[in-house]
Structure 1
């Protein structure tokens, strides 16, 4: 029964996955932690961290959640549910979508998806920070890193390294 529920919940989520699975983190958290109580905040955050550290697509977090909740069946159900429904819909609609190229409503949708994805990803990052128990120093570091990243021409690994050193020293 849990496997079916995982499939249904993640299938619904797949239809609003603008920006990928990471953009859905707040809603995944709500469903998995708050609604069903399958995981707690710490486990959810750890699974997200593992998924981000591993090579591969960001949808890996869905597979890990499914695995943690219901083993191999849960991993397969959650992953298929996140990937399959929208893939089928896109396959069926892509020819028609291209036929509307140049229409005002089609351009409006195309332009509107980008800020939607950015907002969803920002919301997901905020949810992970809250679940990880970020304090004022950690939020300040996030803001400072975001600002520095827009102003400086440094590779992102420098920011990750500074954050790791500050974390190891107990600064955040």
Structure 2
């Protein structure tokens, strides 16, 4: 029963994930932590941090949630749930997009989806900041990292290393 629940839950999120799994992270958090009570907000943030630190796609957090709930089978089913529906939809849309590319409709869709995607990703970042209850120094580090990443086009690994070092030193 839990495996079916995991698959259906993440299949729904799959169809909402415009811009990737991180765009629906606030809703995943709300459902998994607040509505279903499967884990605490701190545990959710830990799983998210592990997924972000690991090499691979951002969607790994979903497999960690599934693993937390139902072991290896839960991880596999959750990953299948988040990937399969959106992949099938993307395939169908890509075929349609080839026919309408360059049209006024295609341009309107591109212009509409860009701010939507940015907003969803920012909502995810805001949710993670709230879940971690950051300090003033942590918020300053987050803002500085975002500014440096945007203005200097630094590799994010340098910023992660600097943040990790500051954390080890107890500065944040």
1:90 aligns with 2:54: no
Gaps of 5+ in 2: none
Partner of 1:57: 57
2:145 alignment counterpart? 145
Paired residues, what number? Answer: 172
Offset at residue 154 of structure 1 (A): 4.5
Name the structure 2 match of 1:78: 78
Partner of 2:38: 38
TM-score by length of 2: 0.89
Residue 102 of structure 1 corresponds to 102
Cα-to-partner distance string for 1:67-101 (whole Å, 9 max, x where unaligned): 10111221122111101011112223332222122
What SS is found at the alignment partner of 1:15? helix
Show structure 1 runs of 4+ deviating over 6 A.
none
Q: TM-score, normalised by structure 1?
A: 0.89
* Match in the other structure for 1:127: 127
Secondary structure of residue in 1 paired with 2:16: coil
C-alpha displacement of 1:147: 2.1
Tell me the alpha carbon deviations over residues 47-85 of structure 1, each in whole angstroms, 9 at most, x when there is no partner.
111111111111111111101011122112211110101
- Measured in 1, the distance between the counterparts of 2:51 and 2:158 equals 21
RMSD of the TM alignment (CA)?
1.8
Q: Give the direction of change, closer, same or farther, for the CA distance of 1:10–1:155 in structure 2 (3 Å limit).
A: closer
In structure 1, list runs of 5 or more residues that go unmatched. Answer: none
The aligned runs of 1:149-160 (5 Å cut-off) are: 149-152=149-152, 154-160=154-160
Check if 1:171 corresponds to 2:167. Answer: no
